[in-house]
Structure 1
């Protein structure tokens, strides 16, 4: 299956809530999709930064469908600073450009992705395709989304938790996402089943 066909199949699975297909997608690559929750509550996980951003986004909605892109402020997001990622949708939502890549996220990943595309994550591997599908589907559903996945055992970071909160332009189109990526513990080399990955390989 080529890249575009894989993207379409993942988006279709997300739109249809076919968690079995998504779980298999990860399992076939030695990884695990632990959770995928649409419109999550602040109690979806124990990460204070994610809980804060869910509350912040809900308050910005103020009874509307989605908050506008110009409603967010760095001064209002201090409890999550360093973990915040802003992504501008491009190619009709099939890809995204990192407008802001939090310093703590960059430290863990090993590179600042600001100005680069989602499709560039780890050379466009399986998780890059999955993330592109997530943002495309969330744009179409106009919903927030939480995910928690465990990479293959050779990857240095044990897990990633992610919140994706859509923002709209003046015409009501989803054009940006307010996100937070929280890394799990580092795995010592003896706990990995394959050759150690470079530290920046966290997908």
Structure 2
């Protein structure tokens, strides 16, 4: 009889402890969600971009950047862009990739063209966190033009025109920043409407 009573007592204690654990876990999860919802997000490709997440964690949720994400994976740059950085990424949209000559994206994604793909992608990355205000300050300081070195090694030229901040690549193509200052835990993304070529 004492054994049964003790067993019931232990079961009750265990149930209470489990309930307490579940409640504290639920509270922690709710707290995390609340913290996340309080972050100042920017919507890109139909998804909120959280400053507490890294470049890759955010980019994979953007419906406008599926081609870029596929390219980053094919180039083996996921770990790099998930790293501490900080990095500034000028992220071309799916439309920007679609505007390239027919077959360009398919060719770049082939394993034998990994070096070329890596060169193109790293041409869209600048070391450090460069905000839109930083870019505008550099343009002003440069008398209307700012030349910034990319991780790839070549440079991008920034200027201002009627559409906003313009970026000119080494081939003379010009694109524009369409969404600026999408902050990440390891840098910042600026969405661009053109694939830039070194």
| Same fold per superposition (TM over 0.5) | no
> Per chain length, whose mean CA-contact separation is higher, i.e. which structure has more relative contact order (CA < 8 Å, sep 6+)?
1
Higher helix proportion (structure 1 or 2): 2
**TM-score normalised over the length of structure 1:** 0.30
Please report the TM-score for the alignment, with normalisation by the length of structure 2: 0.30
Which of structures 1 and 2 has the bigger CA Rg? Answer: 2
